[in-house]
Structure 1
Amino acid sequence: MKRRQALHALAGLGAGLLIGPVRSAQSLLPAAKTGRVVVVGGGWGGLSAAAHLRRALPAWDVVLVERQARFFSLPLSNAWLIDRVPGATLDHNYRQAAARHGYTFIQAEVRGIDRASRRIETDNGHLGYDWLVLSPGIAESLAPWVEGDPAALGAIRDRFDGAFVGPAGVRQLKQRLHAFAGGDWVMTVPPAPYRCPPTPYERAVAIASWWRERQIKGRLIVLDPGAGMAGYRDTFHRQFSDLIEFKPFVRIERVDPFKKVIHTDFDEIPFAEATLAGPQQAGALVAMAGLERRREQNEATGWADVDARTLQSQADERVFVIGDAVGLVSPLFGHYPKTGHMAVHHGRIAAAGIAARVQGKPFEPPFPDSTCWVYDSYTPPEMVRIDASYRIRGDGAMEQTIDQARENQPRGEEMAWAEGMFGEMFGTIK
Structure 2
Amino acid sequence: MNRRNFLITPPAMALALGLGSTPLQSLAAPAILTPASRILPREGKKPRIVICGGGWGGMTAARYLRELIPNSDVVLLERNPTFWSGPMSNKWLIDIVNTDFVNHDMQRPANRYGYTLLQTEVMGFERDRKLVRTAHGLIEYDFLILSGGIRNAYEAWFGNDQRAIDHTRTHFPSAYIPNAEMFALKRKIQEFKGGTLVMTLPPPPHRCPPSPYERACLIAWHIKKNRIPGKILILDPKPKVAPIHMGYQTAFRELYPDIITHVPNARVQELDPFNKRIKTSAGEFRFDDAILMPPHQAAEMVWQADLIGKDANGKPTGWADMHPRLFHAHSDDSVYFVGDLMGAISDQFGHYPKSGHVANYVGRIVARNIAERVSGKEVVARLPDNLCYMMVNAEPQEEISVKFEYEVDPASGKVIQTQIDMDVRTEDLVKEDFAWIKEKFSDFLAI
Alignment correspondent of 2:372: 356
Q: Which amino acid aligns with 2:307?
A: L
Q: Which amino acid aligns with 2:427?
A: Q
Give the SS at the match of 2:378. coil
Residue of 193, 213, 221 corresponding to 1:181: 193
- Superposition deviation, residue 139 in structure 1: 0.9
- Superposition deviation, residue 343 in structure 1: 0.2
Give the SS at the match of 1:412. helix
Alignment correspondent of 1:426: 445
- Give unpaired runs (5+ residues) of structure 1: 1-22
Q: Spell out, residue by residue over 1:315-365, the C-alpha distance to the aligned partner (whole angstroms, 9 max, x if none).
A: 101010111111110111110011100000110011001111011112213
Pairs within 5 Å for 1:281-360: 281-360=297-376
Q: Spell out, residue by residue over 1:17-65, the C-alpha distance to the aligned partner (whole angstroms, 9 max, x if none).
A: xxxxxx9332221223222100100110001000000111111210100
Q: Which amino acid aligns with 1:192?
A: P
Give the SS at the match of 2:407. strand
Q: Which amino acid aligns with 1:122?
A: T
Stretch deviating more after TM superposition (100-109 or 291-300): 291-300
Pairs within 5 Å for 1:338-417: 338-395=354-411, 396-405=413-422, 406=424, 408-410=426-428, 412-417=431-436
Give the SS at the match of 2:332. coil
Alignment correspondent of 2:47: 35
Alignment correspondent of 2:208: 196
Is the contact between residue 134 and residue 319 of structure 1 (CA under 8 Å) also seen in structure 2?
A: yes
Q: Report the Cα distance in structure 1 between the residues aligned to 2:270 and 2:177, rounded to whole angstroms.
A: 21
Alignment correspondent of 1:143: 155
Q: Report the Cα distance in structure 2 between the residues aligned to 1:258 and 1:407, rounded to whole angstroms.
A: 39
Alignment correspondent of 2:71: 59
Q: Which amino acid aligns with 1:255?
A: L
Q: Which amino acid aligns with 2:421?
A: Q
Stretch deviating more after TM superposition (412-421 or 68-77): 412-421
Q: Which amino acid aligns with 1:26?
A: S
Q: Report the Cα distance in structure 2 between the residues aligned to 1:262 and 1:32, rounded to whole angstroms.
A: 56
Residue of 241, 250, 256 corresponding to 1:228: 241
- Give unpaired runs (5+ residues) of structure 2: 1-33
Stretch deviating more after TM superposition (139-148 or 175-184): 139-148
Q: Report the Cα distance in structure 1 between the residues aligned to 2:38 and 2:182, rounded to whole angstroms.
A: 34
Stretch deviating more after TM superposition (199-208 or 300-309): 300-309
- Superposition deviation, residue 297 in structure 1: 2.9
Q: Report the Cα distance in structure 1 between the residues aligned to 2:72 and 2:426, rounded to whole angstroms.
A: 48
Alignment correspondent of 1:215: 227
Q: Spell out, residue by residue over 1:92-148, the C-alpha distance to the aligned partner (whole angstroms, 9 max, x if none).
A: 111111011110000001011111100000111110000001101011211232343
Distance 1:61 1:108, change over 3 A: same
Q: Which amino acid aligns with 1:166?
A: P
- Superposition deviation, residue 266 in structure 1: 5.0
Residue of 257, 262, 266 corresponding to 1:246: 262
1:133 correspondence with 2:156: no
Q: Report the Cα distance in structure 2 between the residues aligned to 1:316 and 1:398, rounded to whole angstroms.
A: 22
Alignment correspondent of 2:178: 166
C-alpha RMSD of the superposition: 1.4
Q: Spell out, residue by residue over 1:349-405, the C-alpha distance to the aligned partner (whole angstroms, 9 max, x if none).
A: 110011110111122132111111111322222212221111111221111111233
- TM value normalised by structure 2: 0.88
Give the SS at the match of 2:170. helix
- Superposition deviation, residue 85 in structure 1: 1.1
- TM value normalised by structure 1: 0.92
Count of residue pairs the alignment pairs up: 406
Alignment correspondent of 1:116: 128
Identity of aligned residues (%): 37
Q: Which amino acid aligns with 1:39?
A: I
Distance 1:267 1:362, change over 3 A: closer
Is the contact between residue 144 and residue 254 of structure 1 (CA under 8 Å) also seen in structure 2?
A: no
Alignment correspondent of 2:30: none
The higher relative CO (CA closer than 8 Å, separation ≥ 6) is in 1
Q: Spell out, residue by residue over 1:289-335, the C-alpha distance to the aligned partner (whole angstroms, 9 max, x if none).
A: 11111112321100012122221111101010111111110111110
Q: Report the Cα distance in structure 2 between the residues aligned to 1:185 and 1:349, rounded to whole angstroms.
A: 41
Alignment correspondent of 1:26: 37
Q: Spell out, residue by residue over 1:152-206, the C-alpha distance to the aligned partner (whole angstroms, 9 max, x if none).
A: 1000111101111222222211111011111111000111111111111010000
Alignment correspondent of 2:287: 271
